[in-house]
Amino acid sequence: MFTIKGKTTDWEVVIGLETHIEVLSNSKIFSGASADYNPTVAPNTQACMIDVAMPGMLPVLNKYCVEQAIKFGLGINAEISRHSKFARKQYFYPDLPQGYQISQPAEEPPVVGRGWVEIMGDDGNPKKIFIERAHMEQDAAKNKHDMHPTKSFVDYNRCGVMLLEIVTFLDTKNPENNSYITSPDEAERYLREIREIARALGVSKANMEEGSMRADVNVSVRPVGSKTFGTRTETKNMVSFKFIKNAIEYEARRQIEILENGGTVTQDTMRYHQDDGTTSVERSKEDALDYRYFPDPDLLELEISDEDIERIRKTMPELPAATRARYINEYGLSEYDANRLTETTDISHWYDDAVDGKTSRAKPVANWMISELFAHPENFDITNEIKENTDPDAPRIITPENIAELVDMISANEINGKQAKEIFIKMLDGERGTIHEIADKYGMKQITDTGAIESAVDEVIKNNPSQVEQYKSGKVGLLGFFVGNVMKATHGQANPAMVSDLLKQKLA
Ligand code: ADP
Ligand code: MG
């Protein structure tokens, strides 16, 4: 368990995340303007009358956006509400021309109800993180304060793009239920899992660097063993895993210091400072905004049928948790390997392409990917889009087919592990061609001819009489010495397993 040592007691950290993901759709949630919001699009070219709140314009709910929400809800094992509503959340800001954000009311069921995702807990075991809800809402526009010395500008392209806000659950009524995030690392793993589910489903790019995923981070602390939760603070609009982890740790330590000095934590909204990793109060609870939520009279209630849900369920691809289970149960991979290979769907697709359903390849391909390819990102196009780099000086892109060929040649005894490693290094150095072609070019062939190996073994035994004597008197660790010498004598081409067997026979 992640704890922080205090003066008199150890402290536990409790974390709640409100994650916003920008939902992929052709048009916006309530208007026909393009939702392909990206920084290369000229400002205010993708905002229509509804987005800028011209009087008399009525919003129309985008059916595809609702389907995206349902898809995501099914992806997080959640209940899908058959009825839900839209409400106006009122505040004034230049990036919100309506004067309110259309969202779903906090006190009524949103489209996606209670669900869960599974992450690896800090103890290395699977851990369920419960999710309270996920609701649909509009994104705001973007204020630009850095374009003119005395003026600010607003780009309305993003205004009205659909967001899904996903809120983790804290079971205050049942303190034994510990399915919530309790460390900075778990927060990161949770966010990565949400990201991968959203990407696998095509619901969002969920990319923090591009702003299509952001999180509000709620943190409280309590002495280890305490059955009640402490007062939390909320740090808003966090856009990097690193900052989120820093902010959690900083906030937790700040709260512990207050409590240990006899003070009380107040339920404030905090601002995180990227430069020095600190937080400061942005607004206190007394200044909390009253959003005066009320049902949006321009929108009908949302009705979802069982048929809608079943139709969408049938289109769902395999999600990361199922992929992990498949790797462990069908391919016999370790929990660790399965986790590494499902960090992103691009990685698991790459792995699946290389294994291509052949169980014998499963473990060796996993090993090559995790211990070799991950260390050479310049040669590893995980999207597997670049098959061939035509510039001869550019790094060679290693494909799933290459690794499949490599492990097949090893298991067919065509090359040994050492030669495979040499071929791999040659590919890293830019060598082109198939694995067979490279092996041929450098005369790498494994010697599996017993006669040839036997004569090399005899030679080594003859030349090392004192080591032979020591081996026979019990120093069996010398086997490695003999194997090494036979391999040297055969220029690394002998089959090491055959060498070792023959040596054992002859030295016995
Ligand atoms: P709000 O409406 O003010 O945003 P919510 O009740 O929706 O508050 O909770 C927001 C998030 O804060 C949720 O993820 C919830 O689990 C989390 N949270 C609530 N209480 C605590 C607490 N004491 N410590 C840490 N997180 C908390
Ligand atoms: Mg909130």
pLDDT tens sequence across 467-508: 999 999 999 899 999 999 998 988 888 888 888 999 999 988
Task: Decide: 291 in ligand 1 pocket, CB within 6 A.
Answer: no
At residue 149, the pLDDT reads 95
Banded model confidence at residue 443, pLDDT cuts 50, 70, 90 = confident
Whose CA is closest to atom 2 on ligand 1?
106
- Residue 87, φ and ψ in degrees, nearest 5: -135, 160
Residues 178 and 169: their CA atoms lie apart, in Å, by: 10
Residues 312 and 217: their CA atoms lie apart, in Å, by: 31
Residue 382 has pLDDT above 90, yes or no: no
Name the strand (E) or helix (H) holding 218.
strand 213-223
Q: Around 55, how many Cα atoms within 13 Å sit in the side-chain half-sphere?
A: 0
Measured CA to CA in angstroms, residue 434 lies from 60, 225, 371, 394 at distances of: 55, 60, 21, 17
Cα maximum dimension of the chain:
100
Structure-token match 């030349």, residue found: 463
Burial of 327 (0-12, 13-18, 19+ CB in 10 A): buried
Tell which atom from ligand 1 comes closest to the C-alpha of 169.
Answer: 16
Q: How far is the CA of 18 from the centre of ligand 2 (A)?
A: 7
Task: Decide: 343 in ligand 1 pocket, CB within 6 A.
Answer: no
At residue 175, the pLDDT reads 74
Q: How far is the CA of 290 from the centre of ligand 2 (A)?
A: 12
Banded model confidence at residue 135, pLDDT cuts 50, 70, 90 = very high
Task: Decide: 14 in ligand 1 pocket, CB within 6 A.
Answer: yes
Tell which atom from ligand 1 comes closest to the C-alpha of 180.
Answer: 16
Name the strand (E) or helix (H) holding 320.
helix 320-331
Name the strand (E) or helix (H) holding 185.
helix 184-201
pLDDT digits (tens, 9 = 90+) for 301-341: 999 999 999 999 999 999 999 999 999 999 999 989 998 99
What distance lies between CA 214 and its chain's CA centroid?
14
Segment 174-185 shows an average pLDDT of 90
Name the strand (E) or helix (H) holding 492.
none
Burial of 293 (0-12, 13-18, 19+ CB in 10 A): middle
pLDDT digits (tens, 9 = 90+) for 237-274: 999 999 999 999 999 999 999 999 999 999 999 999 99
Task: Decide: 168 in ligand 1 pocket, CB within 6 A.
Answer: yes
At residue 296, the pLDDT reads 95
At residue 261, the pLDDT reads 96
Segment 11-18 shows an average pLDDT of 98
Closest listed residue to residue 457, CA positions, set 413, 498, 416: 498
Token pair recorded at residue 185: 């690392």
Determine the CATH number of domain 450-507. Answer: 1.10.10.410
Task: Decide: 16 in ligand 1 pocket, CB within 6 A.
Answer: yes
At residue 329, the pLDDT reads 96
Decide: 331 and 140 in contact? Cβ < 8 Å: no
Could you tell which of 167, 237, 267, 270 is best to mutate to test the pocket of ligand 1, judged by most ligand atoms within 8 Å of the CB?
167
Alpha helices in 30-87 (DSSP H): 63-75
Position 126, amino acid:
P
- Three-state SS across 125-153? CEEEEEEEEEEEEECCCEEECCCCCCCCE
Position 503, amino acid:
L
Tell which atom from ligand 1 comes closest to the C-alpha of 219.
Answer: 25
The helix/strand/coil state of 237 is strand
Task: Decide: 362 in ligand 1 pocket, CB within 6 A.
Answer: no
Mean pLDDT rounded to a whole number for the chain: 93
Banded model confidence at residue 144, pLDDT cuts 50, 70, 90 = very high
Whose CA is closest to atom 22 on ligand 1?
232
Least confident of 35-49, 53-67, 71-85, 182-196: 35-49
Banded model confidence at residue 178, pLDDT cuts 50, 70, 90 = confident
Segment 7-23 shows an average pLDDT of 97
Tell which atom from ligand 1 comes closest to the C-alpha of 106.
Answer: 2
Whose CA is closest to atom 18 on ligand 1?
16
Task: Decide: 170 in ligand 1 pocket, CB within 6 A.
Answer: yes
Could you tell which of 104, 170, 180, 244 is best to mutate to test the pocket of ligand 1, judged by most ligand atoms within 8 Å of the CB?
170
Q: How far is the CA of 216 from the centre of ligand 2 (A)?
A: 7
Whether the CA torsion 405, 409, 411, 416 is positive or negative: it is negative
At residue 271, the pLDDT reads 95
Tell which atom from ligand 1 comes closest to the C-alpha of 172.
Answer: 20
Tell which atom from ligand 1 comes closest to the C-alpha of 230.
Answer: 23
Whose CA is closest to atom 12 on ligand 1?
16
Domain layout of the chain by residue ranges: 11-289+298-306, 320-441, 450-507
Banded model confidence at residue 383, pLDDT cuts 50, 70, 90 = confident
| Percentage of the residues of the chain whose pLDDT score is greater than 70 | 100
Could you tell which of 114, 186, 232, 266 is best to mutate to test the pocket of ligand 1, judged by most ligand atoms within 8 Å of the CB?
232
Decide: 95 and 140 in contact? Cβ < 8 Å: yes
